[in-house]
Structure 1
Amino acid sequence: MTRFYATMQFFPIESGAVMIALAVFVGFVIMIFMLSPLISPRPMKLNGSHVLVTGGSSGIGKAVAVEAVKQGALVTIIARNEQRLLQAKKEIEQHMRDKDRQKVLCISVDISKDFSAVEKAVQQAQEKLGPVDMLVNCAGTSFASRFEDIPVDEFKQQMEVNYYGTIHATRAVISTMKYRRRGRIVLVSSQAGQIGLYGFTAYSASKFALRGFAEALQMEVKPYNIYLTITFPPDTDTPGFQTEQTFKPKETKLISETAGLYQPDYVAKRILQDAIQPG
Structure 2
Amino acid sequence: MSLQIFLVGFSAFVVLLIVLLWRRTGVYHAPDINGYNVFITGGSSGIGLALARLFYEAGASVTLIARSMSRLHEARETLLANCDDRDRIHLVSLDLCGSYSIIERDLSAHLALVDMGIYQFVDAILFSTGTPDILVNCAGYAASQLFIDTSVDTIESLLRTNYLASVYVTKVLLPHMLKTSERNGATVYPIDRRIVFVSTMAAQVSVYGFAAYGASKSAVRGLAEALRLELEPTGPLVTLAFPPDTDTPGLARENIGKPAATVEISSAGGLATPEQVARTIFADTLDGKIISAFGFEGKALSLATAGLLPPVSTCGFGWRSWFDLVFTALGEVLAAGPLRAFGIGYAFWMRYVISKHIKVPRTA
Partner residue in 2 for 1:154: 154
Give 1:94 shift: 2.1
Give 1:129 shift: 1.5
Match of 1:61 among 48, 52, 57: 48
What's the TM-score once normalised by structure 1's chain length? 0.83
Counterpart secondary structure, 1:213: helix
Give the whole-Å Cα distance in 1 for the aligned partners of 2:242 and 2:121. Answer: 27
Give 1:36 shift: 7.9
Does 2:72 align with 1:85?
Answer: yes
Task: Please list every run of 5 or more consecutive structure 2 residues that lacks an aligned counterpart in the other structure.
Answer: 1-16, 108-117, 181-188, 289-314, 316-364
Alpha carbons 1:134, 1:184 under 8 Å: kept? yes
Question: Per-residue CA shift, 1:220-245, capped at 9, x if unaligned?
Answer: 22232210000000000000001111
Does 2:281 align with 1:271?
Answer: yes
The percentage of counterpart residues that share the same residue type is: 36
Give 1:42 shift: 1.9
Give the whole-Å Cα distance in 2 for the aligned partners of 1:122 and 1:164. Answer: 18
Partner residue in 1 for 2:33: 46
Alpha-carbon spacing, 1:121–1:202, altered in 2? closer, same or farther (3 Å): farther
Alpha carbons 1:119, 1:169 under 8 Å: kept? no
Partner residue in 1 for 2:97: 112
Give the whole-Å Cα distance in 2 for the aligned partners of 1:33 and 1:112. Answer: 45
Does 2:85 align with 1:99?
Answer: yes
> 1:7-18 to 2 correspondence within 5 Å?
none
Alpha-carbon spacing, 1:203–1:36, altered in 2? closer, same or farther (3 Å): farther
Alpha carbons 1:193, 1:204 under 8 Å: kept? yes
- Give the counterpart letter for 1:277 in structure 2: D
Partner residue in 2 for 1:213: 223
Counterpart secondary structure, 1:187: strand
Give the whole-Å Cα distance in 2 for the aligned partners of 1:120 and 1:212. Answer: 29
- Give the counterpart letter for 2:176 in structure 1: T
Question: Per-residue CA shift, 1:35-74, capped at 9, x if unaligned?
Answer: 4896431212221111110001111111111111111110
Q: Cα RMSD between the aligned structures? A: 2.2
Partner residue in 2 for 1:72: 59
- Give the counterpart letter for 1:261 in structure 2: L
Give the whole-Å Cα distance in 2 for the aligned partners of 1:196 and 1:35. Answer: 34
Partner residue in 2 for 1:165: 165
Partner residue in 1 for 2:258: 248
What's the TM-score once normalised by structure 2's chain length? 0.64
Task: Please list every run of 5 or more consecutive structure 1 residues that lacks an aligned counterpart in the other structure.
Answer: 1-29
- Give the counterpart letter for 2:203 in structure 1: G
